Structure 1
């Protein structure tokens, strides 16, 4: 954070300094008690603090509040700024802080691929710029202020994930970041417990158009649900990536020993791109990232060379040695129907001539849509085919039932816990087996099972 003196904050938020020095420099911000982790934090709160003892470690501390404290009860080292409307004061502070930086800020949303795309953009830009980015997938509403305040005087660009747990989430992020570039990687089916319908989920993702305003929007030209967005009235620039009818066109996608290779067509030129990680979906992530950095000003050839050195994230289609000499694809970062489809494509590409086993966990955050989305997952499994299907979790069994009903030619097992799945895999896995384990980062059973199946170093 760029330090700000208390006296300047008083003017920004229209408050009154009732205790403390106007010269104290503020270096951190928070609006929840648990976010206070450093000294010199400005804390915006409507709650009256009664347990000062818990905050003594973090003094000096600045509190913005509507409460009229009895100053003799307030410890030395606590600065009090009194305001009439704390919420209004908070947003004045946020908007002022954002206004200080005239740098490219990128926000990325999508059902799948946003973390990888963000990490690719960060990796490419970091070769020349000081970059601020969302840490891994810490993209919740509670992280927005912290991410904004990580931008400092030497920051040259920032790239943030913008998650959709409910309608309004992208708009909320936009109020903090005011991005100059927005990306929608794809739109599948997720978080329907809050978005209620598929159309509602698409509309929630489409909030990206509003927060970009007259900036640049980068979208997947091949994604069916993205095509359903109403772009009428959007005043910014649109850049598309895909296999055709796009600004960044991909062709000749091939699997190699260490990742993917493809041809990129842009501006009348062709570029050979090599990158780590497997899957056509990974190619789309790379296209989005290359479009972003090119828009910022990085020459494509330079960006492509930097992309080749990218290290993919753990538990995202990570290839490892598995039990009994098998190959293991650990894809337990998250699970949606979109990412399940991508993972099964990789399993079938890498599993030619091998016994292919898919171990699939429950898809979360679906609410009343749980049954229908798990049935759709079963259809996806049937479409791609495997030799052995193992589901773990009560709702995951819906996938197995649907795939079986459709006529999946495979041995099918459904378990409520990972112990029985582990026992079965010990019996059937050998050195001619490839195992995909696919689940959610919050599923303890799936993560325990993945850890038990890993037997060696990462292979690619």
Structure 2
């Protein structure tokens, strides 16, 4: 955060300094108690603090509040700024802070690929720019202020994820970040418990158009649901990535031992691109990242060279040595029908000529749509085909039932927990086996099983 004196904050938010020093420099911000982790934090709150001892380790502390405190209630080390409307004061501060920085700010949304695309952009730009970015996938509403305040005087570019848990989430993030570049990686089926319908989910992702305004929007021209986004009336620049009718056009996609290789066509030139990580979905992530950094101002040749040194994230189609000499593909970062489709495609490519086993957990955040989306997942499994299908969890069994109903030619097992799955896998797995384990980062059962399927260190000796 760019340090700011209390006197400046009082002026910005139209407050009154009730107690404390006007010269105190504020270096952090928070609007929840658990976010106070440092001294010199400014805390916006509608709750009256009674237990000052609980925050005494972080004095000096600045409180922005509507509450009227008796001066004798307030311990030394606490500065109080009184406002009439705390919410209004909060947004006045946020908008003022953002207005201080005229730098490229990128906002990335999408059902799958947000984190990887963001990390690719960060990795490429960091070779020439001072960059801040969302930490891993910490993109919830509660992290938005913290992410904004990571921008400081030395920052030259910023990249943030804008997730959709409900309608309005992208708009909310946009109010903080006011991005000049927006990315929609793809639109699948997710968070239907709050978005209610597929159309509602598409509209929630399309809020990115309002967020970007007259800036640049980067979209996947090959994605079916993204094509449904109404671009009429959008006043900014649209950059399309994909295999057809795209500004960043890709061809000759091939799998290599270490990742993917493809040809990028842009503005009459061709570039050979090599990148770590397997799967065509990774190619789309890379295309989006290259489009972003080129828009920021980095020449494509330099960006492509930097992309080749990118290290893919753990638990995102991570290739490991598995039990009994098998190959393990750990894709337990998250699960949607979009990412499941991509993961099964990779399983079939890497498992060609071998026994292919898919271990799949429940898809979350679907609400009343859970049954239908799990049926769609079963259709995806049937489309790709596997030799052995194992599902873990009650709702995941819907996938197995649908795939079986469609005629999947495979051994099919549905377990409520990971214990029986582990026992079965130890019996049927050998050196000629590739196992895909796919699930949600919040599923303890899936993560435990993934850890158990890794080859133990002592076995490597």
**What is the TM-score of this pair, normalised by structure 2?**
0.99
What is the DSSP-based 3-state SS (H/G/I as helix, E as strand, rest coil) of the residue aligned with 1:139? coil
Determine the C-alpha separation between the residues in 1 that align with 2:156 and 2:442.
Answer: 34
Residue in 1 that maps onto 2:31: 31
Match of 2:222 in 1: 222
* Structure 1 segment 53-68 matched on structure 2, within 5 A: 53-68=53-68
Counterpart-to-counterpart distance in 2, 1:233 and 1:456: 57
Alignment partners' CA distance in 1, 2:237 and 2:353: 46
Q: Which residue of 1 aligns with 2:424?
A: 424
Q: Specify every segment of 5 or more residues in structure 1 that has no aligned partner in the other structure, as ranges.
A: none
Question: 3-state DSSP class of the match of 1:164?
Answer: coil
Give the alignment of 1:59-138 within 5 angstroms: 59-138=59-138
1:69: Cα distance to partner? 0.1
Q: Does 1:340 align with 2:340?
A: yes
Aligned to 2:413: 413
Distance 2:134 2:369 in 1: 30
Residue 191 of structure 2: aligned partner: 191
Aligned to 2:48: 48
CA contact (8 A) 1:259 1:276 kept: yes
Please list the CA deviations of residues 103-126 of structure 1 after superposition, one character each: whole Å capped at 9, or x if unmatched: 000000000000000000000000
Residues 165-221 of structure 1: CA distance to partner in whole angstroms, max 9, x if unpaired? Answer: 000000000000000000000000000000000000000000000000000000000
Question: Which residue in 2 is equivalent to 1:254?
Answer: 254
1:455, distance to aligned residue in structure 2 (A): 1.1
DSSP 3-state at the match of 1:253: strand
Superposition CA RMSD, Å: 0.8
Aligned to 2:18: 18
Structure 2: how far apart are the matches of 1:96 and 1:439? 41
1:205 aligns with 2:205: yes
Q: Aligned-pair distance for 1:456? A: 6.0
Question: Can you list the C-alpha shifts for 1:404-453, whole angstroms capped at 9, x where unaligned?
Answer: 00000000000000000000000000000000000000000000000000
State the TM-score, normalized to the length of structure 1: 0.99
- Give deviations 1:321-374, integer Å, cap 9, x for gaps: 000000000000000000000000000000011000000000000000000000
CA distance in 1, matches of 2:199, 2:456: 44
Q: Give the whole-Å Cα distance in 1 for the aligned partners of 2:358 and 2:244.
A: 32
Q: Secondary structure at the match of 2:455?
A: strand
Distance in 1, matches of 2:321 and 2:246, equals 39
Residue by residue over 1:228-283, the C-alpha shift from the partner in whole angstroms, topping out at 9 and shown as x without a partner, is 01111100000000001010000000000100000000000000000000000000
Hey, what's the Cα distance between the residues in 1 that align with 2:71 and 2:129?
46
> 2-side partners of 1:257 and 1:47: how far apart?
56
Could you say what secondary structure the match of 1:455 adopts? coil
1:154 corresponding residue in structure 2: 154
Alignment partners' CA distance in 2, 1:68 and 1:408: 68
User: Aligned partners of 1:345 and 1:25: how far apart in 2?
Assistant: 54
Deviations 1:79-113 (A, max 9, x none): 00000000000000000000000000000000000
Whole-angstrom distance in 1 between the partners of 2:455 and 2:427: 16
Distance 1:455 1:134 in 2: 32
1:431 & 1:231 partners in 2: Cα distance? 50
State the Cα deviation string for residues 374-395 of structure 1 (Å, max 9, x = none). 0000000000000000000000
Please give the secondary structure, in 2, of the residue aligned with 1:372: helix
Q: Deviations over 1:37-90 (max 9, x none)?
A: 000000000101101010100000000001110011100010000000000000
State the SS of the aligned residue for 2:96.
helix
Map of 1:269 onto structure 2? 269
- Runs of 4 or more, structure 1, over 3 Å off, are none
Partner of 2:376: 376
Asked if 2 retains the 8 angstrom alpha-carbon contact of 1:120 and 1:289, the reply is yes
- What pairs with 1:138-177 in structure 2 (closer than 5 Å)? 138-177=138-177
Q: Secondary structure at the match of 2:18?
A: strand
Partner of 1:279: 279
CA distance in 2, matches of 1:153, 1:453: 46
**Which residue matches 1:231?**
231
**Secondary structure in 1 aligned to 2:17?**
strand
Counterpart-to-counterpart distance in 2, 1:456 and 1:248:
43
CA–CA distance in 2 between the matches of 1:456 and 1:290?
38
Q: Write the distance in 2 (CA, Å) between the matches of 1:201 and 1:257.
A: 37
Number of equivalences = 458
Q: CA deviation at 1:26?
A: 0.2
Gaps of 5+ in 2: none
Secondary structure of 1:159's aligned partner: strand
2:234 and 2:157 map into 1 onto residues whose CA distance is 24
Indicate the larger mover: 447-456 or 318-327: 447-456
Give 3-state SS (helix, strand or coil) of 2:239's partner: strand
**What's the CA shift for 1:308?**
0.1
1:446 maps to 446
Answering whether residue 394 of structure 2 is matched by residue 397 of structure 1, we say no
Q: Tell me if the contact between 1:320 and 1:456 (Cα under 8 Å) persists in the aligned partners.
A: no
